[in-house]
Structure 1
């Protein structure tokens, strides 16, 4: 029988100290009280996998009896393999397991497997050892003999449980079967003697259970499976997503639950005079007279000196081991560690009590019936100077600075001799940020150059302690991987392509409980083009990316609140370093701003002084829940906060990448080049390809073409790929090495055949005078689909290169007639006429139309500038080139055109620019010479 059905009776917190207990499987008939379904009523012809699931609970005095009858259809070889071995798990100190039947239903007959002598073999296994849990659970297994595909396997068993720790009380929390899991016949029932005080409830969405009183017994039955649960939207509290269950309890109220457990947490004689624990108390008292400091020391002692081990054996599921035993063995579960902490706190004069909580669905506890199964954890509640402190002995990293942090459990039940009702846990914003991130973004090399980043993150409390524990067990290689992973998460907030780690370090301070992770690396420039300017948005700030968008559009979702999480505090500080010799950067957005969004107070401070910007943000949240009606209001606040994110605008005089082969600007690159070298050396040779390609991208962008080619040579030697061949080919063409470029483009097409790769190769073939091959390649890849326009434009260029420019223009004009709404084709016609000096009579008219209808004004202005040159109107051409560069200053070809025009007009400074282009971009100069710019 599957272990998941055994969980019906084990429960969330299994019961203890049974009257009947056994470590062997018993065999016998079903209990007389159980309603046993007749075999003839089981539909063995159906294809439903679960043909029967009958779970019956009966409360008799202080004993809980559970009868389970289930049948599985073995409709395939896979199901035969999966269900061919029956397993059952139970806890021998909690009660007996009795097997009533193991039958194979085949062809209208029932084959009794037990009658044939088959018996379960009992094994002890601890399934939770990896999570530091031992529960004493036994597992019985039986390989079912003679099973065949098409059989129905029926197994029935029962368990009895009685728990002295509950002082005669009984509880049931049985999960209910829900669609899409189908069943032939399924139900879950609970029954108890008429007149016995039992509370019950089924839900959520449990339909209409049948409740009757018959023959002196009160019973409730839930037909199964229940309808499929309605899909819940994102962000709802856990009580809305918990699975439906049938609950029953003989506890009158929460106060009774509290009273029943109070004796288990008595601290009388817990710390004997002269004992090792008494010595620890003396140490704490001797270190400080401050109650808060004492409480922090006691909590740290329990957290750090006693390891966690959940001991569910010998009544341990509810009964904590004695503090002296916990201290001697140096391990214990939440009960043992809480009782130890409670004893220490009382010994040092601090008022405290143990409270029960639910660590997973704390918000759902008030919806539960009063019973211990509503909880899965215990902690300590202390009162110091009128303030409440929630201390968890199983947590880690608690120090004086974080003592006041409130756990996210929402509700607690104080364990008191005179009883107590449920208590809401009031959240409190932490005094110390749980996470502090300090980031330095070094853009001193220039606005077009990759940024050097140093990010230092400090984690406190449990986050810091957990990181410290991980560091204590990590090897050097594992630490390196942790740094890489952390760097990747940080760099991804700055660049969609991430970044490269150049160095890093991780450390932990046990006295403060703080872990520090420092990472250095390179990311793409933080300045992007926007509205004709270069602008840097501070995307590293949480407010720049946070969104509050929760869907409550369905009618059934309208009232569902949003879970805002637990109370928390974090701090960010971003420092930006700008080029020292480029004044004029301007700060926009709202560098100083404060807002409360969805319960989180965001406080921002920013200041630009000289070439250094510093912006900090503090986020302080209480957590809790937000009513659905407030979602639109908070969404609007979130959007406004995002829109206020500070940004920097660069001066128009800032140096651009294409200028960096000049001596003055080259000097800026030394730190960046050193960082790339460090990133490359950080990896084994076989894994250096990514960093080499990244450096090649930088070098190509600043027109260190030889350096970029060298990097691609190394990257291709490590791992050849089409993208690297294509990029290297483009660099070679920029250097005028057309034949070498063709060779690379051929390799790229071979490795990854595509229309784009074919167009690149065909264009270069045509440029090199290999028109026939180019046209043949274009014909092969022209599928007349979405890429047809691009194919036609390349074919037109090839025709022009071979002296058939008029034919090429006809093809472009035909495209314009075919796609009159594609304004880019007007630009293509203008550009083609201007370069190849064809169709001069209508050239300016076409170019003017292209400019008027342009979606990319800088490109069409560049084309019209070439048309102005072709028509001899250099003044108009210069005006168009300069207008294009105002929109896109980094448009290098336009920079060259402007320099050429200025030289043609006799402006002396232009000769220096032209000399620079001839030296740095000979391929570009050669190509434009072909267009008449000699």
Structure 2
């Protein structure tokens, strides 16, 4: 957590001297230095926000912030939001003063303060979820009698003095840009001309009007300012600074450093005989190595002290003492830093506190020197000439990860003599933040799910996050966490998982086993698995196309280092397997990222060890094109496993397929036993049973899923299992249930198709007749209607629907294919079939589906050679297209070729209902 150091940069930040304690709201007139607004002119602009006027006075160590706001209550929504007003302030630093609270109705003001409206003052810690306590008070004013058409106007001031800054002052105000519309908007900041206040404009802020009069300097801007030019998200933070004005009595960064130095004095802060002194001696006795001592001290502060930001009683900049922090066992970044600093110095390690900005570190380089430029503080330790940046609010740091340099860009060492900003020099990490060790078992085949065994090893902050899981004992919860974590690695089902954490090494591990659902992509007769590891699948494509962006560099993130050690066990002992792309990568840096890869292919398995690492750095705009080209070259050569002519699951007989599926179903049995009330696991196991052609078990599981959840997807799955099992009437009934639950066109089409397959064509058409469709759905319904109507006396009507749809979408490949298929399946207008199908084939770019349709037409015409030519082409594109296998088998058997029997057998394994479908078309396989 970083919020402990600095409470608010865009609100008032004020400084030093005795506290102005104000726990009640004061009611006073606006200060004399406030310049009034021409209210009538603002109203005449007819904007919803009538006035937004903010004026600041920096004087005598106090910043007073005056705000005048008026809203036109135009609707009930605005009325609801403004029915209760909230004003917040920090009572240990100053007061809340209400100057005006009025309703303007029909041009007349109703003074609610004069009518006695009083606030309810409450203390509520709104940042507790971020472990922050700041003591803020909120005054709630309920606005009586307000209604739509009124203008609500309220003016208030807060005063603020920071006890830590010895009378110095600072304030930062953002500038509202267009397209925000204001009747009148202004930011006005003033201070005594001789007070040493400096100001700077940030981001795309315009030049202000500056006036010196009566001993005061005034800086003024009219709001809104011009629209801000959008900056690329990957630009350094200094280019993305929002328009603002920064003011303060600090002339240099050295002034900032020296004013903070008294709060980080450690001399005498660890009294002898205290528990903290004993902790220091424990570390001293443990090792003589200063680096190891530093690591042990940091571990104590990170692990033993809980984070809690305390902003009360001047706590924005004032840390509690080391002994207090050690005793209380909590503290914010200031307290943790001072504790660590004291311990390191007691251990004779050179160290100093340093302020950083954890969110916009690079932007500090263009900001006005102010304490408010920083939101965090840590320790800079120098050991054997090397700087180490030690963050007590981080977690899991050990000696191996201390080497990493955080992404803060700049730091300001806190020294009594003052200091300047220093740049954090990055260096490549020595160990991986995260290491994946994975074994993928693809041995069952390219079509079947794979098993995997993974170990995720993490260090540093990543390990600290994972460590909390190691204390979990509920197995269901552990599996849930593992499933969620691994979603970013691959799509899978986790069936076993365990977390562990070693506090000595700071290493956390997740060990898990699971089922990888889609291990290979298959096109034609080639199966491909893209190797996704630490060095693959990188994209570097910064957009610098806009003229305003052309000179903006790219900023990398990090530090982050990933390593992977992966083994791929290949199907069928690696038969037909090979690699494409680049295997080994010599260490190289591309687009700010360092890559290294070693790959070994031994014929039956592939082994990869690789490493990718990136640290915060900048790539100059002029170098971005070359970096893009280099990354494209690297990524285009990402390795892939390529298996030519692999054995497919439909080539396996029932016994062999069942044996291969056994190793997949057994892990799922574990999940079902562990989570018997989870319908999803029954559905998943049902799908595995179906893939293994065990339809009885598949149906039993899907029925259990329906008993638990009974959703439409489960009924869809039941219909599919029953269809594969040949129980067609029951399949139609399950499809009906899904349709009733979903009620959409897709489920209606499925139900109608199931009825037709069960021989109930007219009922199927009746389902479609009852659907009211329009637009694109007319095309879809025409195709489904044609598939069913050909066996009825409504075939001319079906043809007309296809023609009408084509008239709306001429050249549509799906509709043209439907026409071709309609001609072939129902032997309808067969003499026109070749011409129609040629048109469909060209529109469909010779897809496997449309080639299959034309083959059926050729078969009807008795042109078996032409049919076989199309079928061969279709099966090269889609070897698992059951319709093409079935028709090829029919033609081959008709010619007395024994391979036809194998085609029929494979088609039935792919689609058990294929014979029933073709019988509907009047086509049956010869018995040979």
Is the 1:874–1:905 contact (alpha carbons within 8 Å) kept by the matching residues of 2? no
Is the 1:782–1:788 contact (alpha carbons within 8 Å) kept by the matching residues of 2? no
Counterpart secondary structure, 2:164:
helix
Number of the residue aligned with 1:258: 257
Q: Tell me which moved more, 277-286 or 478-487.
A: 478-487
Is the 2:443–2:573 contact (alpha carbons within 8 Å) kept by the matching residues of 1? no
Is the 2:199–2:245 contact (alpha carbons within 8 Å) kept by the matching residues of 1? yes
CA distance in 2, matches of 1:877, 1:423: 77
Q: 1:592 aligns with which of 584, 594, 598?
A: 584
Superposed, 1:562-577 pairs within 5 Å as 562-577=554-569
Number of the residue aligned with 2:625: 632
Superposed, 1:377-396 pairs within 5 Å as 377-396=376-395
CA distance in 2, matches of 1:284, 1:835: 85
Number of the residue aligned with 2:34: 34
State yes or no: 1:620 paired with 2:613.
Answer: yes
Number of the residue aligned with 2:513: 520
Is the 2:17–2:61 contact (alpha carbons within 8 Å) kept by the matching residues of 1? no
Is the 2:14–2:171 contact (alpha carbons within 8 Å) kept by the matching residues of 1? no
Number of the residue aligned with 1:560: 552
Structure 1 residues 235 and 152, CA gap change in structure 2 (3 angstroms): same
Q: For structure 2, which runs of at least 5 residues remain unmatched after alignment?
A: 1-6
Superposed, 1:812-827 pairs within 5 Å as 821=811
Q: 2:526 aligns with which of 530, 533, 553?
A: 533
Is the 2:13–2:160 contact (alpha carbons within 8 Å) kept by the matching residues of 1? no
Structure 1 residues 629 and 805, CA gap change in structure 2 (3 angstroms): same
Q: For structure 1, which runs of at least 5 residues remain unmatched after alignment?
A: 1-6, 492-497
Is the 1:172–1:247 contact (alpha carbons within 8 Å) kept by the matching residues of 2? yes
Structure 1 residues 780 and 908, CA gap change in structure 2 (3 angstroms): same
- Over residues 459-480 of structure 1, what are the superposed CA-to-partner deviations in whole Å (9 max), with x where a residue is unaligned? 2101211332465589766544
Is the 1:452–1:522 contact (alpha carbons within 8 Å) kept by the matching residues of 2? yes
Report deviation, 1:297: 0.6
Is the 1:658–1:703 contact (alpha carbons within 8 Å) kept by the matching residues of 2? no
State yes or no: 1:15 paired with 2:15.
Answer: yes
Q: 1:715 aligns with which of 701, 705, 709?
A: 705
Structure 1 residues 107 and 471, CA gap change in structure 2 (3 angstroms): farther
Q: Tell me which moved more, 817-826 or 20-29.
A: 817-826
CA distance in 2, matches of 1:472, 1:225: 53
Counterpart secondary structure, 1:178:
coil
Report deviation, 1:557: 2.4
Q: 1:508 aligns with which of 501, 504, 508?
A: 501
- Over residues 197-223 of structure 1, what are the superposed CA-to-partner deviations in whole Å (9 max), with x where a residue is unaligned? 332123323323111111222211121
Q: Tell me which moved more, 202-211 or 249-258.
A: 202-211
Q: 2:675 aligns with which of 668, 683, 688?
A: 683
CA distance in 2, matches of 1:789, 1:147: 56
Q: Tell me which moved more, 799-808 or 721-730.
A: 799-808
Superposed, 1:171-210 pairs within 5 Å as 171-210=170-209
Number of the residue aligned with 1:604: 597
Structure 1 residues 450 and 36, CA gap change in structure 2 (3 angstroms): same
Number of the residue aligned with 1:487: 486
Q: 2:884 aligns with which of 894, 898, 911?
A: 894
CA distance in 2, matches of 1:546, 1:878: 44
Is the 2:204–2:242 contact (alpha carbons within 8 Å) kept by the matching residues of 1? no
Is the 1:13–1:372 contact (alpha carbons within 8 Å) kept by the matching residues of 2? no
Counterpart secondary structure, 1:886:
helix
Report deviation, 1:655: 2.7
Counterpart secondary structure, 1:397:
coil
Q: Tell me which moved more, 453-462 or 876-885.
A: 876-885
CA distance in 2, matches of 1:194, 1:919: 91
Number of the residue aligned with 1:663: 655
Counterpart secondary structure, 1:303:
helix
Structure 1 residues 703 and 833, CA gap change in structure 2 (3 angstroms): farther
CA distance in 2, matches of 1:586, 1:387: 47
Q: Tell me which moved more, 672-681 or 214-223.
A: 672-681
Counterpart secondary structure, 2:400:
helix
- Over residues 473-496 of structure 1, what are the superposed CA-to-partner deviations in whole Å (9 max), with x where a residue is unaligned? 8976654432231133333xxxxx
Q: Tell me which moved more, 770-779 or 276-285.
A: 770-779
CA distance in 1, matches of 2:111, 2:368: 41
Superposed, 1:155-234 pairs within 5 Å as 155-163=154-162, 165-234=164-233
- Report the TM-score, using the length of structure 2 for normalisation: 0.89
- Over residues 402-431 of structure 1, what are the superposed CA-to-partner deviations in whole Å (9 max), with x where a residue is unaligned? 111111111110111221111111122221
Q: Tell me which moved more, 63-72 or 364-373.
A: 63-72
CA distance in 2, matches of 1:894, 1:529: 17
CA distance in 2, matches of 1:919, 1:489: 34
CA distance in 2, matches of 1:224, 1:443: 64
Q: Tell me which moved more, 618-627 or 153-162.
A: 153-162
Report deviation, 1:300: 0.8
Counterpart secondary structure, 1:55:
strand
Is the 1:258–1:414 contact (alpha carbons within 8 Å) kept by the matching residues of 2? yes
Structure 1 residues 785 and 249, CA gap change in structure 2 (3 angstroms): closer
Is the 2:74–2:148 contact (alpha carbons within 8 Å) kept by the matching residues of 1? yes
- Over residues 664-705 of structure 1, what are the superposed CA-to-partner deviations in whole Å (9 max), with x where a residue is unaligned? 3321111111123233334342x31x3333334344444444
CA distance in 1, matches of 2:47, 2:473: 49
CA distance in 2, matches of 1:124, 1:766: 70
Structure 1 residues 707 and 287, CA gap change in structure 2 (3 angstroms): same
Is the 1:449–1:698 contact (alpha carbons within 8 Å) kept by the matching residues of 2? no
Report deviation, 1:387: 0.7
State yes or no: 1:300 paired with 2:299.
Answer: yes
Q: Tell me which moved more, 847-856 or 897-906.
A: 847-856
Report deviation, 1:928: 4.1
- Over residues 118-162 of structure 1, what are the superposed CA-to-partner deviations in whole Å (9 max), with x where a residue is unaligned? 444544333333322222333334434554544444433434444
Number of the residue aligned with 2:914: 924
Is the 1:661–1:702 contact (alpha carbons within 8 Å) kept by the matching residues of 2? no
Number of the residue aligned with 1:494: none
Report deviation, 1:830: 6.0
Q: Tell me which moved more, 321-330 or 45-54.
A: 45-54
Counterpart secondary structure, 2:300:
helix
Is the 2:649–2:657 contact (alpha carbons within 8 Å) kept by the matching residues of 1? no
CA distance in 2, matches of 1:20, 1:823: 78
CA distance in 2, matches of 1:741, 1:33: 83
Number of the residue aligned with 1:345: 344
CA distance in 2, matches of 1:792, 1:23: 75
CA distance in 2, matches of 1:129, 1:750: 48
Report deviation, 1:396: 1.1
Is the 1:695–1:708 contact (alpha carbons within 8 Å) kept by the matching residues of 2? yes
CA distance in 1, matches of 2:125, 2:357: 24
CA distance in 2, matches of 1:811, 1:316: 77
Number of the residue aligned with 1:58: 57
Q: 1:742 aligns with which of 715, 721, 732?
A: 732
- Over residues 167-218 of structure 1, what are the superposed CA-to-partner deviations in whole Å (9 max), with x where a residue is unaligned? 3322221233334443333322222223443321233233231111112222
- Over residues 269-324 of structure 1, what are the superposed CA-to-partner deviations in whole Å (9 max), with x where a residue is unaligned? 12233333322222111111111101101111111122222222333222222222
Number of aligned residue pairs: give it: 917
Structure 1 residues 802 and 399, CA gap change in structure 2 (3 angstroms): same
Number of the residue aligned with 2:311: 312
Report deviation, 1:545: 3.9
CA distance in 1, matches of 2:815, 2:115: 85
Q: Tell me which moved more, 286-295 or 793-802.
A: 793-802
Q: Tell me which moved more, 526-535 or 60-69.
A: 60-69
Number of the residue aligned with 2:281: 282
Structure 1 residues 445 and 105, CA gap change in structure 2 (3 angstroms): same
Structure 1 residues 151 and 789, CA gap change in structure 2 (3 angstroms): closer
Report deviation, 1:900: 4.2
CA distance in 2, matches of 1:83, 1:849: 66
Structure 1 residues 315 and 661, CA gap change in structure 2 (3 angstroms): same
State yes or no: 1:133 paired with 2:125.
Answer: no
